[in-house]
C-alpha cells in the first residue's frame, strides 16, 4: 500500500468488510423456500458484477433528486439565454409602443440591431469568463458551495437587468448573469459526474444539457405572457427567484464524495456514498476513488507537457488526434448555430415572415410560437439522446445528430434565399 494512502489518507474500516447497508441487504435476501439467507457480496452475475457492488448501481431516487437540485443552476442558465429572445423586439425596437416612463423605468430601451447584438453577446462572453475560474474555485470551495456562491451572480445580474434604464446597465446585467452561466456549466457537470455510477453516467452526463433546454423552454413559455412593456422586467427578475430557491435547496444535498476524499475528509466521503448508494456496498467504490486520487497526487510531481508539445506531437503518446477531435466537436457545436437560434430566432422568423409592426404587437406572433416549438423540439431531442445513448453508443448518436444538423442548416440557408 502506498505511502499516500497509509499516511495522508486513512482508509475507513468499511474497505475491509461489508458495509452495514450491504449486510442488511444480505440478511434479508429470500431464498426459494421462503427462508432468509446471506448473500456473498463477491457473488457475481453473468456479467461478473456483484449485485451489491455500488459501482454498478443504477439511478436511484436520492441520486436523481440531488442531481436535479444541482442542475437548477443549469435551468437558470437556460432561463438567462432564453428569456432575451421573445421580448427582443419589445425591448430594442419598442414594438409595444413609444417609450413611456413608469416609476422611473422606461417601457423599452431603444437601440440599433448592432448594439442589441452586443448586449446579447455579452452573456456568452460572461460565460467564458466564469468558466475560466470555476474549475479552480470548485476544487477549492467544493462543488456544492460553489453552486451556492455562484447564485450571487444570477441574483445580481437579474436585478441589474430587470431594473435597467440604459443600454449600459442592461449590458452589465447580461454580462454578470453570463458569469453565472459559465460557472454553472462547469460545476453542475462536475457534480453530476462525481456522484454518478457507471450505469447512471450516460443519463447524468446529458442531464446538464437537458436542464439547460428545460430552462430555455420554460423561459419561452413564460415570455409569451411577459413580452409586453414593462412585464419583460419581471421575466428577467425570475432568474433571481430561481437562484434563491436553489440556494435554500442546496443545504439539503451532500457535497461531492470525490471532493471530500480529495480534501482528506474520508469519513464524510464514505457517509455520502452510503447516502447515494442506498442498500449497496460502497467499499470497492471508495477504494477505487482513493486509488485514483493517489495516482493523481503522484502525477502532480511529474512534469506536464506544454500546450505546444501536445499540439506538435512531442509527447510520449501522440495526443494530437484526441485533442483536435475534442476541439472540433466543441467548436462545431457553436458553429452549428444553436446558440444563435436561442438568442435571435424571434427576430429572424419575424423578418422571414415579413411581419409588420402592427402584427408584432399582437402577441403571440407566429414567430414567437415557432420559437416555442423550436425549444420543445430541442428538449425532446435531448431526452431522446439520453435514452438511447448507452444503447447505441456515443459515436453513433454524435454522427446522426451531426448529419441532422448539417441538413437542417442547409435547409435554413435555402429557405432564406428562396423565401419559401
What are the 10-residue block averages of pLDDT along the chain, 420 residues in total?
Answer: 42 44 38 39 50 76 91 94 88 84 90 90 93 91 95 97 94 96 93 84 79 91 87 94 97 91 88 84 80 74 72 81 82 73 77 76 80 84 79 83 84 74
Rounded to whole angstroms, the Cα distance separating 80 from 124 reads 10
Kind and range of the H or E element at 90? helix 88-92
190: left (phi over 0), alpha (psi -120 to 50) or beta: alpha
C-alpha cell, 344: 435571435
SS3 per residue for 232-253: HHHHHHHHHHHHHHHHHHHCCC
Predicted pLDDT at 161: 95
What separation in angstroms does the CA of 237 have from each of 77, 226, 399?
A: 13, 11, 39
Helices 338-352 & 113-141 angle (0-180, nearest 10): 160
Residue with cell 440557408: 413
What's the confidence (pLDDT) of residue 171?
A: 95
| pLDDT value of residue 48 | 53
Q: What is the spatial distance between Cα 287 and Cα 258, in angstroms, rounded to a whole number? A: 12
Question: CA 79, CA 220: separation in Å to the nearest integer?
Answer: 8
For residues 160 and 211, the answer to whether their CB atoms sit within 8 Å is no
User: What local confidence, expressed as pLDDT, does residue 301 receive?
Assistant: 59
d(C-alpha 236, C-alpha 249), whole Å: 22
Phi, psi of 34 (to 5 degrees): 90, -10
For residue 325 the three cell numbers come to 477531435
Q: Is 154 within 8 Å of 99 (Cβ atoms)?
A: no
In degrees, to the nearest 5, what angle opens at C-alpha 195 toward C-alphas 319 and 291? 60
- The residue among 62, 87, 73, 105 whose CA lies nearest residue 271 is 62
From CA 196, how far away is CA 182, in angstroms rounded?
22
The total of other beta-carbon atoms located within 10 Å of residue 92's CB is: 23
Q: What is the pLDDT of residue 137?
A: 93
* Alpha-carbon Rg for the chain in angstroms: 25
User: pTM of the full predicted structure?
Assistant: 0.77
Place of cell 456549466: 185
Q: How far apart, in whole angstroms, are the C-alpha atoms of residue 72 and residue 284?
A: 31
In whole angstroms, give the CA distance from residue 365 to residue 356: 11
| Neighbouring C-beta atoms of residue 125, cutoff 10 Å | 15
User: What is the DSSP-derived secondary structure letter of residue 8?
Assistant: I
Alpha helix ranges (H) inside 142-205: 143-162, 167-195, 201-205
Amino acid at each position: 500500500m502506498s505511502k499516500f494512502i497509509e499516511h495522508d489518507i486513512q482508509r475507513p474500516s468499511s474497505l475491509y468488510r461489508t458495509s452495514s447497508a450491504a449486510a442488511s441487504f444480505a440478511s434479508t435476501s429470500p431464498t426459494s423456500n421462503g427462508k432468509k439467507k446471506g448473500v456473498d457480496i463477491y457473488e457475481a452475475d453473468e456479467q461478473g458484477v456483484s449485485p451489491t457492488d455500488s459501482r454498478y448501481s443504477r439511478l436511484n431516487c436520492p441520486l436523481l433528486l440531488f442531481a436535479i437540485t444541482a442542475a437548477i443552476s443549469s435551468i437558470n442558465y437556460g432561463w438567462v439565454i432564453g428569456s432575451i429572445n421573445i421580448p427582443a423586439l419589445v425591448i430594442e425596437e419598442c414594438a409595444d409602443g413609444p417609450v413611456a416612463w413608469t416609476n422611473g423605468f422606461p417601457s423599452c430601451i431603444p437601440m440599433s440591431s448592432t448594439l442589441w447584438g452586443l448586449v446579447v453577446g455579452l452573456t456568452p462572453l460572461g460565460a467564458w469568463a466564469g468558466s475560466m475560474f470555476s474549475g479552480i474555485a470548485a476544487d477549492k470551495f467544493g462543488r456544492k458551495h460553489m453552486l451556492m456562491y455562484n447564485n450571487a451572480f444570477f441574483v445580481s445580474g437579474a436585478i441589474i437587468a430587470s431594473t435597467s434604464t440604459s443600454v449600459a446597465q442592461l449590458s452589465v446585467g447580461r454580462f454578470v448573469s453570463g458569469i453565472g452561466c459559465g460557472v454553472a456549466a462547469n460545476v453542475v457537470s462536475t457534480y453530476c459526474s462525481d456522484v454518478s455510477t457507471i450505469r447512471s453516467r450516460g443519463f447524468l452526463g446529458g442531464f446538464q444539457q437537458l436542464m439547460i433546454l428545460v430552462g430555455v423552454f420554460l423561459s419561452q413559455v413564460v415570455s409569451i405572457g411577459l413580452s409586453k412593456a414593462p412585464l419583460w422586467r419581471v421575466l428577467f427578475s425570475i432568474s433571481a427567484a430561481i437562484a434563491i430557491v436553489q440556494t435554500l435547496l442546496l443545504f439539503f444535498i451532500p457535497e461531492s464524495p470525490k471532493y471530500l476524499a480529495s480534501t482528506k475528509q474520508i469519513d464524510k466521503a464514505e457517509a455520502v456514498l452510503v447516502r447515494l448508494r442506498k442498500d449497496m456496498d460502497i467499499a470497492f467504490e471508495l477504494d477505487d476513488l482513493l486509488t485514483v486520487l493517489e495516482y493523481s497526487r503522484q502525477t502532480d510531481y511529474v512534469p506536464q507537457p506544454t500546450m505546444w508539445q501536445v499540439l506538435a506531437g512531442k509527447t510520449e503518446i501522440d495526443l494530437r488526434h484526441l485533442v483536435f477531435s475534442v476541439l472540433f466537436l466543441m467548436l462545431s457545436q457553436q458553429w452549428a448555430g444553436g446558440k444563435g437560434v436561442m438568442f435571435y430566432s424571434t427576430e429572424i422568423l419575424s423578418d422571414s415572415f415579413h411581419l409588420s409592426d402592427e402584427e408584432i404587437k399582437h402577441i403571440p406572433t407566429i414567430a414567437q410560437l415557432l420559437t416555442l416549438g423550436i425549444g420543445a423540439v430541442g428538449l425532446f431531442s435531448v431526452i431522446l439522446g439520453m435514452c438511447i445513448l448507452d444503447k447505441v453508443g456515443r459515436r453513433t448518436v454524435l454522427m446522426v445528430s451531426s448529419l441532422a444538423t448539417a441538413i437542417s442548416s442547409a435547409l435554413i440557408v435555402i429557405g432564406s434565399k428562396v423565401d419559401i
